[in-house]
Amino acid sequence: MWEASRVSIAQNGSFAASAKIPVFRSDRVVPRTRLFETLDRALADSDHGTSVVLVCAPAGAGKTTFLADWAHRTRAQPGRPAIAWATVDEQDNERPSLQSKLVQALRGTEHHQVREICEQIANPTPVQPFPLASRLTELTEPVWLILDDAHLLHDPVVLSELEVLLRAPPERVRVVVCGRFEPPLAFQKLRLDGRMVDVTFDDLAFTPEEATALLAEHDVELDPDNLSALMERTEGWAAGLRLAGMSLAEHDDPASLLENFTGCQRAVADYLMEQVLDGQSEEVRQFLVKTSVPATFSAALAEELTGRADAHAIIDVLEHRNFLISRIETSPTQFRYHPLLRSYLRAEIGLLGRQAVAELEHVTARWYARLGDALPALEHGIAADAVSDVESVLSDSGLALVLDGHAETVGRLLADAPRPIRDRPIARLVRVAAHLRADNPTIAGSLLSTFDDHGGTFDDHGGDESAFRTTLLADTLRLQLAVHTGDLEYARTRPVAADGDWSGDPHLDAFAALQRGLGHLHLGRLGRAEHNLDRARTHAREINSPSIEAQTSTALGVVALSRGLLDDALLLAASGRSKAAASRQSKAAASRQSKTAAAGRSGATNGHPFLQVANQSADSQWTSLLEAFCHYLRNDTERAVEVAGAPYASNASATHEIAVAAELFGLDTAPNRRAAVSALHAATTSGRAAHRPPGLIAVTLPSIQFAYLHIGETTWARELFTSAAAVLGQSGDVALLESVLLLYANQLERARAALRPVLEGNLPCAAATNMVTAWLVEAELSRRRFHDARIHDALGEALRLAEPEGVLRPFHYMPSASRELLSASRGRFGSRGSFADRVWASLPKTAVATTEKLTRRELQLLAELPTWRTAEEIAADLCVSVNTVKTHLRGIYRKLGVTTRRDAVTAARSHGLL
């Protein structure tokens, strides 16, 4: 044992006498430097006025071992003070016995002056004053006196004389008092006078590094996960760590052992019985067992559980005696037992009988329900098998628990609940919500498919508010599942259309408004989406739900992006990021509190089983994607890469989108553009693509298509057009992709025909910024046909649309063409001249790599090359001879620095000539 009994220590030859400094092991390697230095400073700093150190902690905290290690370390250093060690026992509650023990301890210091003083002191009688304190004033060298197991002192006369020594110690004497709890001495006065330093259980608790060194003494080495699990179970308690080390040394599966390392393990249980629970009265032991039902308890709850009006007094005694109980400074004050002790007590509770245990669980569940603390109310209600209690909690707070980040825990609790609870309609619906929140649509769909409700409005349910709320929740969950799986046909049905049905429950209405808003958003109905999302955000603020507010902010940001309002989208993305961070922080705080709260129902102590943090990574990733797109459209690719590459936990669909975006944003700086575009293509065609709103899908489609075409991969570009048409249907974005394909095939009239309904507003774009690209394509079509007036009008319209939000990226899709178009109209843009200059400055300086400009005829022939028709067919269309075509081809090859037709097409596209 870490703090073993004196008998076992003596048997190992560790004590020569009680006045000697104990030696536990000579090969100890646990570094306690931080504590050693604290003690050194406290005792050595005479200017500070410290004269007493109190080392006070429960059994097994390692008090004696720490002081012994410190004393041996200190004594080994030259010029250090003399150290006297006195270990108190029960018989020292007689004055002569304690006085004799102190004299013996001082004699054992081998400090000549101290020894001489002790020799001169005659053994005093019980009625004579103890002269040691006054004689020690003669000391010229410092002496540090350690009084171990001081909690055993209780005799008033002995305590009175010891208090005299503590209050007015000789100038060169420092006293260290060590015990499980404070003996009744005037320590508070010393604290107020600034003459005392406390070393508590928290100070003595081992850090992970110190625990690693302790385990190494048993030839045990744990990986970070197992070490973390052990630290959660022991909370750095020395005895627990030592017992774990002893058990692990004989076990070949650390993870398995640690999973079951609780107070029920034989070695731990024996230690708790012998060192912690021994000496407690039967009434107190019953109190401990009954109050171990909840993870934390107040004095009032303890009264409810035990039926004792003196519960507060019992808690005070346990605290005073440094029992393994901790105070949590909340309102009201809460208390908890050490995880290993609680798991032991939880095992003992079975001895009360099944009915008694169920009643304790029921009392606890009702208590938390009255306080509005839904999660423990649900857990204890399930444990009590109280169907009506659980149904009440779920009806009032089940959805709120899921939305607030406890989806995984709630789902697990309900899955493990008895069938009468599990089959209740509200329980099934809350499980569906939990699985959807945890990204498990298959299980959610299976549960939802077996749920039978009649739907309808409030009136359809005859005024039954509960039935209407259940129906509304079921409809909303069906809508959420439809959006999640991309079943947009279902999203067009009643749940989305019934925007006027509300329950009056702010949690349910916030959830319903959010899902309706997302449904409209995925259908491209931006106005109705915005209306519902605004309502969801209002409710989220009312119920203080940062998780829902984060989702609504991000969704509203997508609405803004779809409308081309980048400033608004960035502000909403920032709000979403902030609220998501607040949500994670609040859940992390709850998790930290739960991990110190107590063991779970099975006796495991790795935190409160129903207070685990939900994964918020998906929301964070979509927020990052939204923000990155805004920066990319403004041509801030460096910032876009930074945002898109932010590290988040894995979420399959969102991670796939982030990977595609990161490849796209990195094209400008890629050393090998062809390889980079190939990687982009691989990213777009692999993984599980998420079901996204049309605006979020369409916003980067032109970027990807131009990237493919610039390296001559027309097949990839056509595949992109086909897949976009399948997802977006008849939209302006799809027509734009078709027009670009026809432009690159030099089919100019067909390209213009495909683009005309977009420019005329008859075929709206899902992403408004694509209208900038559409007008630039129109400008390029006019340039190819030498329609100068049309060129200027189209370019002016592109600048008009791009300027308010600083949209620059579309001008980079055809950099050479953009540069030439801007150059030809320079000075003719009026108030947009400065923005045109900004666009010009943003274009890559190496957009045109040829040293010799192609002639008009060469440009005309160059446009025919991607058609892959023969020279004879091209000559016939241009009404020139084959030799003329071949002459122009040689000029094109020379000026582009290539030798083949394919390379010429690729080079021309990379320079923006095609």
Over residues 137-162, the pLDDT tens digits come to: 778 788 889 999 999 999 998 888 88
**489 shares its domain with 586:** yes
Band of pLDDT at residue 30, cut at 50, 70 and 90: low
Which range, 307-316, 441-450, 835-844, is most confident? Answer: 307-316
Tokens at 877, concatenated: 């269309």
Q: Are residues 93 and 219 in the same domain?
A: no
Q: Does 294 map to a domain?
A: no
| Cβ neighbours, 10 Å, residue 25 | 12
The per-residue pLDDT for 657 is 79
Residue 806: other Cβ atoms inside 10 A:
16
Give the mean pLDDT of 4-26: 43
Residue ending a domain, among 842, 869, 890, is 842
Q: What percent of the chain has a predicted confidence (pLDDT) above 90?
A: 41
Residue 439, pLDDT score: 83
Q: Which is nearest to 75 in space by CA: 48, 103, 36?
A: 36
Calculate mean pLDDT across residues 813-818: 83
With bands split at pLDDT 50, 70 and 90, how would you rate the model's confidence at 48? low
- Are residues 180 and 65 part of one domain? yes
430 and 467 together in one domain: no
Domain membership of residue 850 (yes or no) is no
Give the pLDDT of residue 130: 57
* Average pLDDT for 196-206: 91
- Which range is most confident: 436-440, 607-611, 792-796? 792-796
Q: How many domains does the chain have?
A: 6
> Are residues 747 and 772 both part of a single domain?
yes
Helix (H, G, I), strand (E, B) or coil at 87: strand
The pLDDT assigned to 619 comes to: 60
**What one-character-per-residue DSSP string does 384-408 give?**
TT-HHHHHHHIIIIIHHHIIIIIHH
Q: Verify that 446 and 378 share a domain, yes or no.
A: yes
Residues 403, 434: contact at Cβ < 8 Å?
A: no
- Does the pTM surpass 0.95? The reply is no
Residue type, 611: L
CA atoms within 13 A on the CB side of 654: 21
CA angle 317, 244, 149 (to 5 degrees): 40
Query: In this structure, what CATH number is given to the domain that contains residue 651?
Result: 1.25.40
Pair 199, 211 in one domain: no
What is the per-residue pLDDT for 512? 93
69 has a pLDDT exceeding 70: yes
Return the top range by mean pLDDT from 179-188, 607-616, 827-836. 179-188
Mean pLDDT of 501-513: 88
CA distances 877 to 834, 865, 872, 902, Å, are 43, 13, 9, 21
Q: Are residues 588 and 736 in the same domain?
A: no
Highest mean pLDDT among 60-74, 92-106, 692-706, 892-906: 692-706
For residues 397 and 481, state if they share a domain: no
Tell me the percentage of the chain whose pLDDT exceeds 70: 85
Mean predicted confidence (pLDDT) in 598-612: 36
224 and 199 in one domain? no
Tens of pLDDT, residue by residue over 554-595, are 999 999 999 999 999 999 999 988 887 777 666 655 444 444
CATH of the domain at 876: 1.10.10.10
Whether residue 659 is contained in a domain is answered as yes
Q: Mean pLDDT of all residues in the chain?
A: 83
Q: Decide if 291 is inside a domain.
A: no
The pLDDT of residue 201 is above 50: yes
Alpha carbon 622 to its chain centroid, in Å, reads 16
Residue 562 located in a structural domain: yes
Confidence category of residue 300, pLDDT binned at 50, 70, 90: very high
**Partner residues linked to 144 by β-bridges:** 83, 174
- Provide the pLDDT for residue 616: 40
| Same domain, residue pair 465 and 548 | yes
The answer to whether residue 160 is domain-embedded is: yes
Residue 304 in tokens: 């409810």
Average the pLDDT over 330-349 and give the result: 90
Looking at the domain assignment, is residue 152 inside a domain? yes
pLDDT of res. 503: 82
Query: In this model, does residue 401 exceed pLDDT 60?
Result: yes
Q: Is the pLDDT of residue 457 over 90?
A: no
Which domain-ending residue is among 417, 452, 487?
452
Asked whether residue 330 is assigned to any structural domain, the reply reads: no
Is the pLDDT at 105 greater than 70, yes or no? yes
Range of the domain at 808: 643-842
Contact 301, 294 (CB under 8 A): yes
- Tell me, what's the pLDDT at 97? 86
Interval 610-658: pLDDT, tens? 333 333 445 667 788 899 999 999 999 999 988 876 544 344 456 677 8
Do 191 and 122 lie in one domain? The reply is yes
Q: How confident is the model at residue 852 (pLDDT cuts 50, 70, 90)?
A: low
Q: Which of 393, 425, 452 is the C-terminal boundary of a domain?
A: 452
Is the bond into 332 cis (omega within 30 degrees of 0)? yes
Determine the Cα–Cα distance for residues 99 and 468; give it in Å rounded to an integer.
80
